[in-house]
A and B are shown apart, each in its own frame.
Chain A
Amino acid sequence: MSKVESGMESMIDMYIFETNTLLEQLDEILLRTEEAQTFTDDDINEIFRIMHTVKGSSAMMGFDDLQLLAHKGEELFFIIRENPDHLEDVSFVYDLVFRMSDLFKAEIELIQAEGDYVATDFSEVLADLEKGASMLTDETNTSVRTSGGIDASHGESPEDWGDDVVTVRIYFQEGCKMENLRSFLLLNKIREEAEVKDYSPKDIENDPNASDIIIEEGFTVTFKADNNDSILKLVENAINVESYEIIHKDSGKAENAETAHHEEEPAESAAVPEAVEFVPEKPAKIPAPETAVAVPATPTANTNQAAQLNAGKQSIISVNLAKLDQLHDIVGEIITTESMVISNPELEGLKLESFLKSARELKKLTDELQDTVMSIRMVPLAGPFQKMNRIVRDMKMKLGKDAELKIEGENTEVDKTIVDSLNDPLMHLVRNCMDHGIENSVEERLERDKPAKATITLNAVSSSGEVVITVSDDGAGIDTEKVLRKAEMNGLLMKPASEYTEREIQNMILLPGFSTNDVVTEFSGRGVGMDVVRDNIEKCGGSLTVESKAGFGTTFIIKIPLTLAIIQGMEVKVHDTVFAIPISTIRQSFKVQNSEIINDTQRGEMIMIRGECYPIMRLHEKFVIPSEITDFEDGILLLVETDGKCVCLFADRLIGEQQVVVKPFPSYLSRYNIKGAGLSGCTIMGDGSISLIIDVANLIESY
């Protein structure tokens, strides 16, 4: 079956993005308030708003189950909101809401996943939510309305309203659908500006029949405001309002005082009418199509106008990543073209003072442009870091270990793609710290003079082109003997056990098929995990190492590049081919005398540097390039190192250091093992020609 009604596919990305953002906000609030053990009014309102929006958008997308779930959650918080003083024991509320939020996330993942979507059965949670709601109701013994509607002020009779009230009858465009909800939205907006005295029909939020009445008789609102004109203007500009008329109080009869025509707003708002056709009987806000404008600032910021009014408050927009990639490509093109123009051979020998001045100006601007585009792709690590709070909380409950999570440096920024791929590894590492790192009993901790409450620290710092993220605990540390025994058992030892250094043993836990935990737990201990974590990190160009001190804790160190797309490279020339070698792998470059070369009949040419012997790889031989420079004295040697393995590369000459934009080889060539030959990709240089990026690890491997 199709996941959503036809015509809604384009909205689904937006829906998923928005709902995920809201759920993350929800988790954040819950975690914060759980710590403080109280809900402030703001928190309750915020949660209520989140529930309400999720409910609305789920209904709009036709996910009835999700809508119902959110509705129950909303109901629960409605009760809490109405009776905030009676909140004594709310711990069960947290469990309920966390459960609900998890279900939501899982469901959204299902929706996101490929293939058919089958709605999950939420009946159990729904029942619990209802039970929770009734518990609260019993507790407070107050009658509670079950819907989120805000009623008009009661207790005043029309006679008390005074003379300056205005009654307006509003007609919506024919066939715009959901007139009751449109009225409700409009009503809320009027409420922001004025005091609403009365409106008709009454039950617009919950009664779909109200639509018919509104179509027939129009929607009547009576309000009192300091500036009636501004309210009328608001009504006039509202979406889908066909016309409105002001009714004189005494006559109570419609008089065509003013009729405003309102053209259907083009494009975006046109999507709304069809979008809301199948909203079930429950009330729903109608998120405007441009919900990409992140996090509406007010509960009613869900319509076109409101979004515009709030434009000043919103400083973040979300952009499709593909568009950013495109922008990035174009900027790359501009820079390439720029250098083609500025260093055009036809300009040689000409005296061009003002040209060069303008060229420098242009260069400055394009550099700035490039930096800006790069910075757009950078997002702070706060997102994935904050998610770990939740993991720690859940693990705390399940394992009965007391721990707190300390987050440092969460403002460090990393490329968006990398941040996305960090979520899983971080989660595994934090789980590992909770499960294996921290001692099983408080006594063990107290014996070692450690506080009963364990600390897990997440830290991120950026240094020289890479970001170093550490996940550390103050637990028992890695038991090297146990690791060694286990490794021996699993046949992971490559040399006699006594020859392993402590560091090597510690890093064994990152090997595939290694798990020291004897009991397989829900969270970790299946022996997959650490190696998967390492693979995931290596996939985005990073590395994972572990450091541990017995009795004092374990630290996992993740090093990842700031961005995937750009590396600092040293360009070297071999005949007419230019290679870029990642700067991070180069230890030194130097000239040699032929007398320094050691020629071993078995292992080929080698060179002695500071007492160590390194093999020499001639790039022109390796890549079969007809270079004239074959004498070591004419060329240059570069000592490169990766994973502790070193080799000396022989090239004709160095060109210089440059930031290079890594491009993969075209997919036409993907059937050939180019990577295995020691090339990881290519890059376009300033003059438009292509240089090849050397993958040092594979190059050494292939040697």
Chain B
Amino acid sequence: MATTSSLFAQNVKSDKTTRVEKEEEITKALTFAIGDQVYGIEIPYVVEIIGVPKITRVPCAEVPYFIKGIINVRSKVVPVVNMRSCFGKEEVEYNEKTCTIIVALNDISVGLIVDEVLEVLSVMQKNIAKTPDLSNVNENKFIEYILEMNDGIKLILDIKKIIFDHDLMISMM
């Protein structure tokens, strides 16, 4: 955990010193793919990225389908959510590109299973789509804002909703 986050921290630092228009960079985001769509999570929430370890299912009828179970992340028990089923997409078999992104907010950690982790990019004010009309986007309810980059749009997720708003997640299914 320490190594990963400090690595990011270092990146931020070195970038900031070299960048001329540094006032424009608001934060950084880790992007990942689910199907063809690119999503992002703001870096401060990301703890680490691991593969897909052995998942222990929690056999309780109340636990919704998208919570796949619990995993052991260095002696910490962390629940994992499959982002595909969370976004109402069909689950696919895990392959070598499938990753678990461990995110944390207020001491609550959750692992998000995604198809593929892409890159860390700078979030610039100019790239944020202004008051976007989200009504056409299927998974809009989780999206905090949209980035318009040269290589396409990236949907930045609202971690608070993913961690706390289980009902919203259930309604998405």
Residues of A within 8 A of B (CB): 329, 332-333, 336, 577, 622-625, 663, 665-669, 671-674, 677, 679, 682, 684, 688-692
Contacts and interface: CB of A to CB of B under 8 A. Distances in A.
B62 to A, nearest CB: 4
Dominant secondary structure at the A interface: mixed
A576 to B, nearest CB: 9
B168 interface: no
B79 interface: yes
A682 B62 contact: no
Interface of B: 53-54, 56-63, 67, 70-72, 74-75, 77-79, 107-110, 163, 166
Given A622-B59, A665-B58, A665-B77, 18 more contacts: A577-B56, A577-B57, A625-B59, A666-B77, A668-B108, A668-B109, A669-B58, A669-B63, A669-B70, A673-B60, A674-B60, A677-B60, A679-B59, A682-B77, A684-B72, A684-B75, A690-B56, A690-B77
A667 B63 CA distance: 13
Contact of B58 (A329, A674, A684): A674
A668 B77 contact: no
A308 B67 CA distance: 55
Contacts of A672: 60, 62-63
Nearest to B70: A690
Contacts of B79: 666, 668-669
Task: List the 7 shortest-distance A-B pairs measured between CB atoms, nearest first.
Answer: A623-B59, A690-B56, A677-B60, A672-B62, A333-B75, A668-B79, A674-B60
A673 B61 CA distance: 9
Contacts of A674: 58, 60, 62-63
Contact of A668 (B56, B59, B71, B163): B163
A692 B75 contact: no
B161 to A, nearest CB: 13
11 contacts: A329-B75, A333-B75, A665-B77, A666-B70, A669-B58, A673-B62, A688-B54, A688-B72, A689-B54, A690-B56, A690-B77
Contacts of A663: 77
A461 B74 CA distance: 37
Nearest to A684: B72
A336 B78 contact: no
B61 to A, nearest CB: 7
B70 A679 contact: no
A126 to B, nearest CB: 45
A682 B70 contact: yes
Contacts of B70: 665-666, 669, 682, 690
Nearest to A335: B75
A677 B61 contact: yes
Contacts of B59: 577, 622-625, 677, 679, 692
Contact of B77 (A671, A673, A677, A684): A684
A684 B77 CA distance: 8
Contacts of A329: 75
Nearest to B110: A668
A625 B56 CA distance: 12
A692 B56 contact: yes
A38 to B, nearest CB: 55
Please indicate which of the listed interface residues B61, B77, B110 has the most CB atoms of chain A within 10 Å of its own CB: B77
A336 B58 contact: no
Contacts of B63: 669, 672, 674
A668 B78 CA distance: 9
Contacts of A671: 166
A336 B74 CA distance: 9
Nearest to A690: B56
A332 B54 CA distance: 19
B74 A677 contact: no
Contact of A336 (B75, B108, B166): B75
Contacts of A623: 59
A624 B57 CA distance: 10
Contacts of A668: 67, 79, 108-110, 163
Contacts of A336: 72, 75
Nearest to A329: B75
Contacts of A665: 58, 70, 77
